[in-house]
Amino acid sequence: MFGLIGNLGPWELVIILVVVLMIFGPGKLPQVGQSLGKALKSFKKAQEEDEDSVDNQRDKS
């Protein structure tokens, strides 16, 4: 996962966290994290289903 982020060091991550806290506030942060987690889980599930359908099509050929 961190390969997608690039070469971010600890200071860059701290700055990003501070900006996110300023935008959403500490009260909304758990909700944002939960929504992000659900979105990633849904994306992974759809990706796996797509790979399975491609494998099934390949097996039928």
Summarised one tens digit per residue, pLDDT across range 13-54 is 889 888 988 888 888 888 888 998 999 999 999 989 888 887
| pTM score of the predicted model | 0.56
| Confidence bin at 5 (pLDDT 50/70/90) | low
Spell 13-35 as b/e; 16+ CB within 10 A means b.
Answer: eeeeeeeeeeeeeeeeeeeeeee
State the fold for domain 2-60. Answer: 1.20.5
Q: Structural domain boundaries of the chain?
A: 2-60
